[in-house]
Copies of this chain bind each other. A is one copy, B any other.
């Protein structure tokens, strides 16, 4: 096929992050397992927000964070996700398009705030060690309709990237299933990020079925998610996934990351970071860096290094969108 128009098109949640520092004691008092992610309803959202100190608002969403990093690393990208036609939705669209991500999914109408869901928000509590605990109200994002999938758009990319979080709500799951079929028929590679423990707990069977049906070409997991998915220790899970998925990338927090492609194995240590400010987006940016190598046919090792550099940048400041010149950082690191 001719050179595709896009390198990566992602389907993901459109979420504005609302970040505030908290103490470990606060997390305990609120019974929030540190480092976790959960969906919360409107009532709990109001309650928790009321207890948070002053905040920063920074656009987020796992796949959109990945696309932002990938775009800053030179890839051509597009995003499919649903904001509401409200102020946060405008901000969200601006921030993606401002870095060069194409984003044409129409906003969901928001004429009546009593009855229409607003743009999704994630209340992110950042502990002194930088670990983030996420509390998400999906809002309009969870109603992404299958009609938002433009088949021609899906056919115009090298890689289709799917965010596991979005497998949870019904409508986006159907949209993703349709996109997978279109991608598969067009020879587009399909990347999938499991995103969080709870996604694997709830939908691991579906994820495994996608793998067994040969519908995942690149799998992004962390070690906990791999262990849950395969019902084994992370090392064994990595190997069993590597036997079934063409490319597997497993992040291991402070232990770096591993990748497998067929019989090939590579690993990388984390980039040194002066001070970890906020771990939000670490996995998303690792995927961004890796994909920037993958789409250039770089070696597995170089792709991992790119992932580590991008992840290192995003944890050195608040928010899950990179701020520094990622290309320059990667160039300096690769020499």
Contact = CB atoms under 8 A, between A and B. Distances in A.
A56 B319 CA distance: 9
A53 B87 contact: no
Contact of A99 (B53, B58, B321): B53
How many residues of A sit at the interface, in one of the four size bands?
A: 20 to 34
A319 B21 CA distance: 15
Interface string A11-38: 0000000101100000000000000000
A68 interface: yes
B57 A56 contact: yes
Contact of A87 (B58, B88, B95, B321): B88
Contacts of A18: 91
A55 B87 contact: no
B58 A95 contact: no
Interface in A296-324: 319, 321, 323
Given A54-B68, A57-B56, A323 B21 contact: yes
A118 interface: yes
A49 B52 CA distance: 29
- One complex includes copies of this chain to the number of 2
Contacts of A96: 54
Interface string A52-86: 11111111000000001000000000000000001
A91 B19 CA distance: 12
A98 B123 CA distance: 14
Most B Cβ at <10 Å: residue of A18, A91, A321: A91
A52 B88 contact: no
Contacts of A91: 18, 55, 57
A100 to B, nearest CB: 10
A47 to B, nearest CB: 13
A77 B57 CA distance: 24
Most B Cβ at <10 Å: residue of A52, A55, A87, A99: A87
A5 interface: no
B49 A54 contact: no
Contacts of A21: 323
A56 B56 contact: yes
30 contacts: A18-B91, A21-B323, A49-B94, A50-B94, A52-B94, A52-B98, A53-B98, A53-B99, A54-B59, A54-B68, A54-B94, A54-B95, A54-B96, A54-B98, A54-B321, A55-B91, A55-B94, A55-B95, A55-B98, A56-B56, A56-B57, A56-B58, A56-B319, A57-B57, A57-B58, A57-B91, A86-B87, A87-B87, A87-B88, A87-B118
